[in-house]
Amino acid sequence: MTKEWWKEGVVYQIYPSSFKDSNGDGIGDIPGITSELDYIKSLGVEIIWVSPFYKSPQYDMGYDISDYQDVYEKYGTVEDVEALIQGCHERGMRIIFDLVVNHTSHLHAWFQESASSKTNPKHDWYIWRPARYVNGERLPPCNWRGFFGGSVWEWDDNIGEYYLHLFAKEQPDLNWENPEVRQAIYNDAMRFWLDKGADGFRIDTVNMYSKRLDFPDAPVVEPDTRWQPAYDLICNGPRMHEFLREMNDEVLSKYDAMTVGELPHTPDPAHVLRYVSASARQLQQVFQMDLVFLDFGERSKHYPRKWALTEFKTALEKWQNFIEGNDGWTTNFLENHDTGRSVSRYGSDSPQFAAVSAKMLAVFLTTLTGTTYVYQGQEMGMVNAPKIWPIEEYKDIETLNSYNEVKQITGNDKVALEEVMKGIQLTARDHNRLPFQWDASANAGFTTAAKPWMRVHDNYREINASQQSEDPTSVLSFWKNMIKLRKRYSELFVHGSFKICDFEDENVLTYVKEHGKNRAIVMLNFSDTPQKANVELVRDMAILVSNYTCKSDESYLLPYEGRVYI
């Protein structure tokens, strides 16, 4: 067991546009984050991850970068980011940034040059391919569907070819085959910020840089559309590990840098180990999506399905036990900027159970093996946007493309639109992008502007950080306490072994954490009814913490009760 700062510390993710607005324009910004560092520190987290703040036309909320070495003007300046880094370090916290290098914005100077002519020296910095002609019809090189819908290929009249974009057409994919491109990424996007004191990166779409250059068609599974899901062809291309090894050897290893890669569509643990095994010298951690994609339906995330707790347990156990007997590492999270709120998805956002289920999920996340991540607002139990909000309140490109596709395909069919809207209310990325609820004043104290960029949740007078900070029984106080306990018992919780005791149970999740002679048992009721607790298991043990203050009969778990025995 090796102790490292990036294993022990809880990470707090900040979404710049929605955290705190310092200048009253309705949009969160870097000085806003800096002004709340004491609040963040008070949570007990040791590492901050900030989602992209770089210069960007914002087609995908900054995941479309037009200059790696500059800051989006509405968020502030490079000096503001330097002050943020300094503010973190002064308080003994580390800070990591988002590294988005699968693609740039179409407005990045590199792409502008690439698209200017076939003879431009940077033409080959992106991925260009000629058309296929079938019965005289011009078609792209393959049938892959992009992450935001439609083809991954966009025709360019000037070049007379298609360019690849796995995400929006305003996010062209860089050509990692070209060594100049890799060097430019290492310099502009990485060394520039590491030299300013950044402590590492959350690395976006970390398994998509190496492409299958033959671009084979994906099998047709959705006959309604021409563009087919192709995740297995898109992810984990042939040179992926070589590229990441080079990135580590040439850049990351020269700094005490933390790395956590976003690793969608990679189910095989043996393969994941190739990314995170210390001896492979590529990444330290990756995000596994199994738990946050659990409710995604066959058709898409916006057609969610019911899931069983046993499925949750299978996914959980897989990534908890993945590091046993090897030199890899694992992560725990139920929220990020691409998800809905965990209370609404895994707990209950009904007024009766919202707070208690938020605390139960806190018990869960702070007792798991690996590095734990908390997304802004999760610490006070923020919930999904109200169901009565119309589609006009949603801003995300993924949500709107999905909704508009249904509109188009069905010719505005009311029933079909209601169906997709129901899914959006649960799984849209927008929910986690609502402004942070600071206090009970207008617009939740997020901004002094009359209208923030996204509507503030209707419940901000009931759920906000200021009121919860004062209340020792609040979700926020509970999270702070759990983070303290995680630190105090880090051997057990961060590093201990993990074993599920009640695999078949569809309501309760019970697990043992063990380290040397020390042992903890965690019992979590994921249902809204009382459940029998296996008290035999905890004979001779004492309750370390519970999310119900008035202690009940120990042989029952109350709705969404969570207990830790030690």
- Using CB under 5 A as the binding rule, the residues of this chain from 17 to 56 that contact Ca ion are 21, 23, 25, 27, 29
- Residue whose beta carbon is closest to Ca ion: 29
The number of angstroms, rounded, from the C-alpha of 277 to the middle of its chain's C-alpha atoms is 21
Interaction pattern, residues 49-88, with ligand ISL; x per rule: CB under 6 A: -----------x--x-------------------------
Complex with ligand ISL: residue 8 or 419, whichever CB lies closer: 419
What stretch of H or E contains 12?
Answer: strand 11-14
Q: How far apart are CA 209 and CA 237, in angstroms?
A: 7
- Residue closest to 526 by CA, chosen among 340, 317, 310: 310
Partner that binds at residue 147, options Ca ion, ligand ISL, none, CB closer than 5 to 8 Å by kind: ligand ISL
Cβ count within 10 A of residue 319: 22
Tell me if 356 sits within 8 A of 481, measured CB to CB: no
Complex with Ca ion: residue 84 or 127, whichever CB lies closer: 84
Tell me if 219 sits within 8 A of 191, measured CB to CB: no
Tell me if 523 sits within 8 A of 503, measured CB to CB: no
> What single string gives the DSSP state of each residue in 97-150?
EEE--SB--TTSHHHHHHTT-TTSTTGGGB-EEPPEEETTEEE-SS-BBPTTSS
Complex with Ca ion: residue 18 or 402, whichever CB lies closer: 18
- Least distance (Å) between residue 110 CB and ligand ISL: 16
Complex with ligand ISL: residue 208 or 444, whichever CB lies closer: 208
Binding-residue total with Ca ion (CB under 5 A):
5
Partner that binds at residue 27, options ligand ISL, Ca ion, none, CB closer than 5 to 8 Å by kind: Ca ion
Partner that binds at residue 63, options Ca ion, ligand ISL, none, CB closer than 5 to 8 Å by kind: ligand ISL
Residues classed as catalytic: 204, 262
- Least distance (Å) between residue 21 CB and Ca ion: 4
- Least distance (Å) between residue 33 CB and Ca ion: 11
- Least distance (Å) between residue 413 CB and Ca ion: 40
Q: What value, to the nearest 5°, has the Cα angle with vertex 157 and ends 155 and 160?
A: 80
Determine, following the binding rule CB under 6 A, whether residue 108 of this chain makes contact with ligand ISL: no
Tell me if 208 sits within 8 A of 166, measured CB to CB: yes
Angle between helices 397-410 and 414-427 in degrees, nearest 10: 160
Complex with ligand ISL: residue 118 or 305, whichever CB lies closer: 305
Of residues 145, 301, 431, 480, which one binds ligand ISL by CB under 6 A? 301
- Least distance (Å) between residue 343 CB and Ca ion: 28
**DSSP, res 186:** I
Partner that binds at residue 301, options Ca ion, ligand ISL, none, CB closer than 5 to 8 Å by kind: ligand ISL
- Least distance (Å) between residue 72 CB and ligand ISL: 15
Tell me if 347 sits within 8 A of 295, measured CB to CB: no
Complex with ligand ISL: residue 148 or 498, whichever CB lies closer: 148
Determine, following the binding rule CB under 6 A, whether residue 144 of this chain makes contact with ligand ISL: no
Binding-residue total with ligand ISL (CB under 6 A):
14
Q: How far apart are CA 9 and CA 366, in angstroms?
A: 11
Determine, following the binding rule CB under 6 A, whether residue 147 of this chain makes contact with ligand ISL: yes
Cβ count within 10 A of residue 408: 9
- Using CB under 6 A as the binding rule, the residues of this chain from 262 to 291 that contact ligand ISL are 262, 264
Tell me if 285 sits within 8 A of 252, measured CB to CB: no
- Using CB under 6 A as the binding rule, the residues of this chain from 149 to 168 that contact ligand ISL are 167
Segment 420-426 long-range contacts (CB within 8 Å, at least 24 positions apart): 420/302, 420/303, 421/391, 423/297, 423/300, 423/301, 423/302, 423/303, 423/304, 424/302, 424/391, 424/394, 424/399, 425/384, 425/385, 425/387, 426/295, 426/304, 426/340, 426/344, 426/345, 426/384
The number of angstroms, rounded, from the C-alpha of 59 to the middle of its chain's C-alpha atoms is 18
Interaction pattern, residues 78-117, with Ca ion; x per rule: CB under 5 A: ----------------------------------------
- Using CB under 6 A as the binding rule, the residues of this chain from 201 to 220 that contact ligand ISL are 204-205
Q: How far apart are CA 169 and CA 177, in angstroms?
A: 21
Residues at the interface with ligand ISL (CB under 6 A) = 60, 63, 100, 147, 167, 204-205, 262, 264, 301, 337-338, 398, 429
Residues at the interface with Ca ion (CB under 5 A) = 21, 23, 25, 27, 29
